[in-house]
């Protein structure tokens, strides 16, 4: 048998369900890798080995007792993962990626997403690293090790789910959940050469986006393979006895029967009845234009262009119809998004000036500027972005999917972002990730997939991963998973682990 970390999450699930592996065996294997490799990668902010061992043993005991806590179809029984360090787990400190929160007592109650994954049967190994309060697109918190892409330890893993993506890419976890308010799943997944899915706003009950300002922040899965991504997505959709998803809001995205997402990824076929260019044939738009064009100087690097070209060739080779397109100009987007982003930061529950002074310059700038924004300006920004949402949904709706580069540049060197000038720092983030935040504004689903590896260097002997982002219509996850699986099959990435 291959080493356990070389197995896919789907394979591990099946071995656990068949009794060929135990949760303890799997937990110990991954804890050993975390112990050996996390100091290099910086994927975990906190490791909780004894809690993980107790959890694994409890799952085994419950199964032996026949209490109904054993494997279930589509469940994650016995599979290890981590909680993003922006989420509370009862009894475990949450650092929020900030020195300002050091020493705070653990929460007494777990957040909803943590409870959902616990109910699916996971074993948490600890907290995956995040940047301060989740705002930056890189994970280099002051006072803690940076999260690094395992393909080149001189470069960052991206953010804000940088620890989660680095852990998956380094084989410290088979998959990991993240959250995405402006690209925070897709950016690190692309920087680490793995798959990251931002679901449609309203799809997931825990982290739907409905309860965040502007509907920006949703939760979603990160994994090495498209099928593993779908498996984790399935578990993030808790279902009632009748099979329907247990939504707490009236606003929700279309969802499908249990197992449909994994089946779409494994079959790599478009959903029945879809395909604007014919049965099973997608009409795919391709663009490098973004909502930040004209506000910041956005340039597509040769590596990003090579990744886009490789992905488009593979999709064309699969028989899909490819159309070059351009997004409608939206000069109102950038100032409105900045206002909304700062408005969200203004609500961070820090009122003590001394604590606020402990925050990093970027975070202080966002919070302090946000607290000077008049209510009318914020309301106007929300209205402007709602209009942008309607426009972008209509533009994407002319296709089955739209493809962009995942990132405009190669994974950025550690320390590349301006640590003193927050305005410049924000600009750098947009230049690195110009195609992500607009999809949070529009609530559209998107998935990033590696499609290209740069030439090897001394620091990156296997090359650096670059990829594409596939954007779907509202509720279009089945189509995205199928197209991503086709890319994965046509353009197999490096299967060897870099560490």
- By annotation, the residues acting in catalysis are 84, 160, 184
Q: Any idea which residue has 């490789």 for tokens?
A: 310
Indicate the SS3 state at residue 189.
Answer: helix
Q: Which residues of 353-363 are buried (b: 16+ CB within 10 A; e: fewer)?
A: eeeeebbbebb
Question: Which residue matches tokens 């029967």?
Answer: 257
- What would the two tokens of residue 80 be? 């290890």
- Interacting residues of 213 by C-beta distance below 8 A, sequence separation 6+: 340, 343, 344, 347
Strand partners, 465: 453
Query: Distance between CA atoms of 487 and 311, rounded to whole angstroms?
Result: 7
Residues 311, 195, 113: CA angle, nearest 5 degrees: 150
Beta-bridge mates of residue 123? 80
Handedness of CA 55, 61, 64, 65 (dihedral sign): negative
State the number of CA atoms in the 13 A half-sphere of 215 facing the CB: 24
C-alpha 453/C-alpha 294 separation (Å) is 29
Residue 401 near residue 484, CB atoms below 8 Å: no
CB 164 within 8 A of CB 177: yes
Partners of residue 219 on adjacent β-strands: 179
Kindly state the tokens that stand for 237: 């959709």
Reading the block at residue 351, the tokens are 């009122």
Question: Among 17, 3, 7, which residue's Cα sits nearest to residue 174?
Answer: 7
Give the residue among 208, 217, 396 at the shortest CA–CA distance from 291: 396
Q: Which residues of 302-340 are buried (b: 16+ CB within 10 A; e: fewer)?
A: ebbebbbebbbebbeebebbbeebebeebebbbebbbbb
Ramachandran angles phi, psi of 256, nearest 5°: -125, 170
| Class of residue 94 by CB neighbours under 10 A (exposed 0-12, middle 13-18, buried 19+) | buried
Angle between helices 260-267 and 477-490 (to 10 degrees): 30
Collapsing DSSP to helix, strand or coil, 273 comes out as coil
The secondary element (H helix, E strand) that includes residue 369 is: helix 361-370
**Which single residue is written with the structure tokens 């409870």?**
115
């Amino acid at each position: 048998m291959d080493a356990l970390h070389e197995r896919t999450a789907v394979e591990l699930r099946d071995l656990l369900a068949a009794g060929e592996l135990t949760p303890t065996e799997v937990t110990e294997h991954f804890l050993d890798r975390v112990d050996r490799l996390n100091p290099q990668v910086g994927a975990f902010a906190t490791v909780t080995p004894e809690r993980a061992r107790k959890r694994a043993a409890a799952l085994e005991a419950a199964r032996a007792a026949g209490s109904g806590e054993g494997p279930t179809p589509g469940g994650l029984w016995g599979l290890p993962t981590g909680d993003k360090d922006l989420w509370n787990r009862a009894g475990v400190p949450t650092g929020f990626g900030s020195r300002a929160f050091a020493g705070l007592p653990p929460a007494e109650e777990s957040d909803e997403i943590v409870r959902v994954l616990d109910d699916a049967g996971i074993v948490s190994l600890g907290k995956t690293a995040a940047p301060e309060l989740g705002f930056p697109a890189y994970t280099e918190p002051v006072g803690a090790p940076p999260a690094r892409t395992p393909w080149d330890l001189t470069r960052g893993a991206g953010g804000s789910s940088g620890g989660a993506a680095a852990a998956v890419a380094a084989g410290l976890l088979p998959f990991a959940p993240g959250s995405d308010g402006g690209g925070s799943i897709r950016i690190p997944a692309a920087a680490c050469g793995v798959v990251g899915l931002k679901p449609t706003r309203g799809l997931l009950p825990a982290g739907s986006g409905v309860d965040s300002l502007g509907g920006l922040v949703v939760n979603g899965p990160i994994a090495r393979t498209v099928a593993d991504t779908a498996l984790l997505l399935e578990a993030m959709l808790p279902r009632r006895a009748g099979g329907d998803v247990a939504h707490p809001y009236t606003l929700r995205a279309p969802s499908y029967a249990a197992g449909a997402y994994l089946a779409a990824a494994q079959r790599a076929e478009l959903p029945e009845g879809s395909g604007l260019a014919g049965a099973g044939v997608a009409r795919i738009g391709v663009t490098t234009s973004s909502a930040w064009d004209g506000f910041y100087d956005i340039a597509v690097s040769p590596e990003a262009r090579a990744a886009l070209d490789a992905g488009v060739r593979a999709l064309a080779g699969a028989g899909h119809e490819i159309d070059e397109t351009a997004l409608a100009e939206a000069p109102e987007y950038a100032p409105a998004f900045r206002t909304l982003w700062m408005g969200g930061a203004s609500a961070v529950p820090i009122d003590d000036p001394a604590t606020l002074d402990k925050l990093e310059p970027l975070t202080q700038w966002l919070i302090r500027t946000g607290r000077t924004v008049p209510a009318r300006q914020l309301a106007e920004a929300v209205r402007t972005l709602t209009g942008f949402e309607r426009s972008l949904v209509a533009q994407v709706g002319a296709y089955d999917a739209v493809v962009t580069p995942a990132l405009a540049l190669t994974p950025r060197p550690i320390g590349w972002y301006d640590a003193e000038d927050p305005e410049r720092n924000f600009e750098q983030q947009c230049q690195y990730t110009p195609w992500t935040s607009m999809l949070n504004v529009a609530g559209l689903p998107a998935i990033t997939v590696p499609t290209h590896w740069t030439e090897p260097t001394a620091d990156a002997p296997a090359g650096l991963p670059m990829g594409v982002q596939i954007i779907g219509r509202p509720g279009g996850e089945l189509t995205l998973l199928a197209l991503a699986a086709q890319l994965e099959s046509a353009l197999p990435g490096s299967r060897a682990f870099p560490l």
